[in-house]
Amino acid sequence: MTELAVHPTPIPGLLVIDLPVHGDARGWFKENWQREKMVAAGLPDLAPVQNNISFNQAVGVTRGIHAEPWDKYISVATGRVFGAWVDLREGPSFGVTFWHEIGPDVAIFVPRGVGNAFQTLEAPAAYTYLVTAHWSETAQAQYTFLHLADESAAIPWPIPLEDAELSAKDQNHPRLAEVVPVPPRRTLVIGGNGQLGRALSALWQDRSDVDVVGRDRLDLADPASLEAFDFSPYAVIVNAAATTAVDAAETAEGRREAWAVNVTGVGRLVEAARSQHATLVHVSSDYVFDGTREIHDENEPPSPLGVYGQTKAAGDQLVATLPDHYIVRTSWVIGEGGNFVATMAGLAERGIDPAVVEDQIGRLTFTDDLAAAIDHLLTSRPAAGVYNVTSDGEPASWARIAAEVFALTGHDPARVHPVSTAEYYAGKDGIAPRPAHSTLDLSRIRATGFRPREQFAALREHLRAGTPS
């Protein structure tokens, strides 16, 4: 009996699957789709949403060549067919062909954008296929077609096409020279107006396959905005949007906003990513921890102190339900616009001597480094999960960082007055609790080959540039 096995083909992503078939005098049985075993053998995790059957009564029925906007898993229940595939995706493999006979003991995985066709060799032939998106007339408008008799594809049809049964539509498809290649799926950045969104825009400014949208186009707090947005073009979604007003989240209005964006909106985004089989990159926070541990690794369970931290922890749990995700956990983010470093530099210039907290310890994270880490994860594709990303180096207090800003801008660091958190917030209402220790363990991101900059070296470059990074 054939063992379950997955084989590559000359077309990238097109796979041939050997299926074990158990037979006796009564007939046969096979596990046509068995997620756990097949994913372990090397098949993509399909998550099919529709099962179609094409019943073909006669030998010589020929259908294709159709490239569809979803992945397909093809097999037969009865009969045998000759299958043929042509890569119609934009890129170096455009026009590459492959063919293979399909019986009950063979299945084929066809990725989006690869043209698919078959011809019945033994009838009746029940040709069955799982697909990863629902068919609709709108989706059908996204098909790409190729003529069955295209000379450059040169498919060796066992039954000559002039003797085969073809539809009128399939006889009128274009030749390969006239086919517009299927473009690669795109990358979407949500929260384009924020500090990280602007850093990603700068990093990816030369890429033509990236769309950066602000809250005016996609508002995570607005269900109607999410419902109306078309996620189908995207293979990667980067969620750089969040409500980060830590103290405001402790108010009645702020609690509603934080949960709407950081939890409810993220939940809807997770379902959009799931339906499109997209990779979701989600930015998390050190505020998911209570700060009682001096260093937080990716395996530490959440223990948020305040509402903001609770919403971020809840959003992380939702994202973690996706098979293809990266939760990028960070802290003390510094980017373009208002931030702690800019504030300290401004106070130093204006001659103001600030009181700064000395009992909260962590590391800065510059948005250009955070954007670079996200790009690295999407390029190197390590295992899904949580990755801590901050600057590297010795953890420091806010007070020490403020003193360094003063020194690097030519001012006396002794003008910074270290105080405790309790002293700093004494007499102030509506203050959210802060974790005392925000230092994140960077071992896992380093193991992927990414090397974060040392925080004070990065701070020096940031200030030397004269413009926020």
Residues of 397-417 as b/e, b for ≥16 C-beta within 10 angstroms? Answer: bbbbbbbbbbebeebeeeebe
Q: So what's the pLDDT on residue 429?
A: 85
Dihedral over Cα of 43, 46, 48, 53: its sign:
negative
Q: So what's the pLDDT on residue 140?
A: 75
* SS3 state at 412: coil
411: its two tokens: 């001012």
Mean pLDDT of 126-134: 92
List strand residue ranges (DSSP E) for 93-138, in order.
Answer: 97-102, 106-110, 114-131
Q: So what's the pLDDT on residue 1?
A: 63
| Arithmetic mean of pLDDT over the chain | 94
127 annotated active-site: no
109: its two tokens: 């995985």
What is the maximum alpha-carbon separation in the chain?
94
Share of the chain above pLDDT 90, in %: 87
Mean pLDDT of 308-331: 97
Nearest to 360 by CA among 413, 405, 426, 419: 419
Residue by residue, DSSP assigns 207-274 as -TTEEEE-TTT--TT-HHHHHHS--TTEEEEEE------TTGGGSHHHHHHHHIIIIIIHHHHHHHHH
H/E stretch holding 195: helix 195-203
Look up the pTM and report it.
0.85
pLDDT grade for 469, boundaries at 50, 70 and 90 = very low
In the block, which residue shows the tokens 């990603």?
200
pLDDT grade for 373, boundaries at 50, 70 and 90 = very high
Share of the chain above pLDDT 70, in %: 99
Q: So what's the pLDDT on residue 467?
A: 45
At 54-95, the pLDDT tens digits run 999 899 999 999 999 999 999 999 999 999 999 999 999 999
Cβ-proximal residues to 100 (8 Å cutoff; 6+ apart), any chain: 9, 16, 83, 106, 108
Dihedral over Cα of 376, 378, 384, 387: its sign:
positive
Mean pLDDT of 272-277: 91
Q: Which stretch of 125-139, 278-292, 297-311 has the lowest confidence by average pLDDT?
A: 125-139
Q: Count of residues for the chain?
A: 469
100 annotated active-site: no
Radius of gyration of the chain (CA): 28
- Is residue 352 exposed (0-12), middle (13-18) or buried (19+ Cβ within 10 Å)? exposed
* SS3 state at 39: helix
Q: So what's the pLDDT on residue 465?
A: 82
291: its two tokens: 């700060």
Q: How many angstroms separate the CA atoms of 265 and 259, rounded?
A: 8
Answer whether residue 227 shows pLDDT above 90. yes
Answer whether residue 337 shows pLDDT above 90. no
Answer whether residue 252 shows pLDDT above 60. yes
Answer whether residue 453 shows pLDDT above 90. yes
Nearest to 249 by CA among 312, 333, 343: 312
Q: What is the dihedral of CA 117, 235, 380, 210, to 10 degrees?
A: 120
Answer whether residue 51 shows pLDDT above 60. yes
Cβ-proximal residues to 146 (8 Å cutoff; 6+ apart), any chain: 64, 65, 67, 86, 88, 115, 153, 173, 174, 175, 176, 179
Q: So what's the pLDDT on residue 468?
A: 41
Residue of 73, 127, 129, 424 marked active site: 129
Cα end-to-end span (Å), the chain: 61
Q: So what's the pLDDT on residue 381?
A: 96
Pairing of strands 186-190, 210-213: parallel
Residue of 66, 147, 277, 296 marked active site: 66
Answer whether residue 145 shows pLDDT above 70. yes
Answer whether residue 464 shows pLDDT above 90. no
> How is residue 175 annotated by DSSP?
P
Nearest to 116 by CA among 78, 158, 71, 151: 71
